[in-house]
Amino acid sequence: MSTAFLNEVLPILEEQEVKKENIRAASKQLAVCARNFSYIVNSFHTEESFEQIVAKSKNALDSLDTVHSSLNNLVSSIQPVELYFRYVDLFNHVLQDILSSLHIFHFIAHGKICDPETIRTYLGIPVNDTSCFHITLEDFLQSIPPMISEIVRLAINRVPSKDYHFVTSTCTFVKEMYSNLQILNLRNDSLRRKVDGVKYELKRIEEVVFHLSMRNLI
């Protein structure tokens, strides 16, 4: 290996390492937003009234400036866009966490998860548009099973507060989502395992609905 070759390659490697560090730094900023979202979601389980949970969800959806700023830093650190898939593993898990929380907030506020167009409205980033910085279809799908698990947990915890409508609507939602996800021919092992796990969440919420029905509470 010649000295000339090393002198040519080393600056390229150094530039790549600097880019990776910039992406990691931007990803850490976004991870703070994800943790703040997680804190809000966890607080739902101790709220006395469901109206407070709805209010918190709507407020979270109306207060995305910090998320936008962190995303802008991430987008600017991955230029040109052709480098997206080279570095996506450095930040896609954080994006999935953000998406899961947005799904939760949107479901509580509006009774459904975010579709790709709604995600674009909230984040300013398209889904599955490879011509620019985007959310991959796989990451979009990966964000749904954790959201379902959290919503089922919340519904079960709302039983003592007699929020039975939320329990039954959650059960209907999970049934529909599981049916829709089963249609997909998933080749990604991680995603397939997550989707398989949804059937256990469905069983949990169905058992709760059954017991409420047996007690003539719904």
Query: What's the pLDDT score for residue 1?
Result: 53
One domain for residues 121 and 157: no
Phi then psi dihedrals of residue 135, to 5 deg? -100, 125
For residue 112, give both structure tokens: 């459904």
Q: Looking at residue 149, which CATH number applies to its domain?
A: 1.20.58.200
Domain carrying residue 173 = 144-218
Reported as a single tens digit per residue, the pLDDT across 82-131 is: 888 888 999 999 999 999 999 999 999 999 999 999 999 999 999 999 88
Q: Which string of b and e fits 189-204 if b means at least 16 CB within 10 Å?
A: eebeebbeebeebbeb
- The per-residue pLDDT for range 36-85, each reduced to its tens digit, is 999 999 999 999 899 999 999 999 999 999 999 999 999 988 888 888 88
| Claim to verify: residue 106 and residue 156 sit in the same structural domain | no
Domain boundary among 142, 168, 193: 142
Kindly tell me if the per-residue pLDDT of 10 is higher than 80: no
For residues 12-38, average pLDDT: 85
Same domain, 160 and 204: yes
Same domain, 134 and 179: no
